[in-house]
Amino acid sequence: MIVTVLGLLVGVLAAVLVTLVWWSTPGRPAPFLDAEGRPLAGSLSEKQWVELNGARQGMIIRARDASRPVLLFIHGGLPEYFLAERQARGLEELFVVCWWDQRGAGLSFRGNDPAVPITSEVLIADALEVTKYLQRRFGQERIYLMAHSGGTFLGMQLIARAPERFHAYVAEAQMVNQRRSEHEAYEQLLAEYRRRGDATMVRRLEQAPVTADRIPREYLQLRDQAMHELGVGTTHEMRSVVTGLFLPSLQSPAFTLGEKLDLWRGKRASGVSALWDEMLTVDLLTLVPKVDVPVYFLHGAFDRTCSLREAQRYFERLEAPRKRFLLLEHSAHSPLFEEPALVLDFLRTEVLAQP
């Protein structure tokens, strides 16, 4: 009887949650308003789909001033606009920002469509088509490119192939040699849990050892929990994917309920998940040792998802006409959402200030 009552309560609460989410979100990004509450002249705030490279691809484009330089944002394992609208609105003061959802992710999710397998070549070609679309639409010869986490695996290759289309590249948590990064992270996690005397987590990590040539599935299933408990995962303050990502995604007014579900349905089949095996075989320093556009690396001091040591190694050896490295002392894997004021000031004074 108790189990039945609890089951009913859980069902009722779930139904109430779904209903609240359904009715509380209009499914469109908020407009920019002037002092009188009217749409701000010259601003832009839209959600749209464009047929590019043989696929219907979704994106949100926002700018307080649509005449500003254009910035294409390439997300990592999950589209990130729902976080930006809470924690990094200032980006849209500096740029016309295109929050593009990669093929198979978020607004671009189309179920289990096997017609075009998701590979790095396909996603780089998609990103190039999005770039061309933005250039045409806004009449700009070059745009800015910003990528985060797994998105940097694509971003670095994109600027190497088409440097003539970009003013500069901004990498947030640049991926370099992910196999080495995972091995390093495992050793650091194990050492910290031993220091804390957490016998349970130590035992679980020891049962799934990461070596220089093997990353067990059991470790990957444990990794996020272990990193977030230590404050070295998505953000330094985040302790749970549920409270830090899932619930905030449900609260975003920019998406319908179906689009919010697609955000999580697409996570397993797109982007980082689809390219994971390939990412583990590539060292970007070998693949892309030189680029012809300015490069800016942003990296959190607490980041264990993408190795700070590997990013610094890449930065030191990478040949570029201009390069700068910003270490964010209070951030983990997502400096734009953890220390937005510092990141935005860097973009304003270092990136946009260059001719």
pLDDT at 10 over 60: no
Mind listing the pLDDT tens digit for each residue in 107-128?
999 875 656 688 999 999 999 9
Residue 12 banded pLDDT, cuts 50, 70, 90: low
Residue 355 — pLDDT band, cuts 50, 70, 90? confident
Residues 323-337 have a mean pLDDT of 97
Average pLDDT over residues 313-338: 97
Report how far apart, in Å, the C-alpha atoms of 73 and of each of 62, 113, 153, 229, 349 are. 12, 24, 13, 28, 19
DSSP-derived 3-state class of residue 209: coil
Summarised one tens digit per residue, pLDDT across range 269-294 is 777 788 999 999 999 999 999 999 99
pLDDT tens digits, residue range 213-258? 899 999 999 999 999 999 999 999 999 999 999 999 999 999 999 9
What does the pLDDT average to over 308-326?
A: 98
- The mean per-residue pLDDT over the stretch 195-199 comes to 96
List the structure tokens of 41.
């002249």
pLDDT greater than 70 at residue 169: yes
Domain ranges of the chain: 44-178+259-351, 179-241
* Pairwise CA distance, residues 97 & 64, whole Å: 10
- Could you say which DSSP state residue 347 is in? I
Give residue 343's pLDDT band: very low, low, confident or very high (50, 70, 90).
Answer: very high
pLDDT of residue 21: 54
Helix (H, G, I), strand (E, B) or coil at 344: helix
Q: How many CB atoms lie within 10 A of CB 80?
A: 25
CB 188 within 8 A of CB 304: yes
Superfamily of structural domain 44-178+259-351: Alpha/Beta hydrolase fold, catalytic domain (3.40.50.1820)
Overall average pLDDT of the 29-44 stretch: 91
- CA–CA gap between residue 18 and residue 12 (Å, rounded): 10
Instruction: Give, in order, the Cα–Cα distances in Å from 255 to each of 20, 27, 82, 251, 343.
Output: 14, 4, 9, 9, 26
Q: Which of 147, 144, 143 is nearest to 156 (CA)?
A: 147
Query: Could you tell me which of 341, 332, 334 has the C-alpha nearest to residue 152?
Result: 334
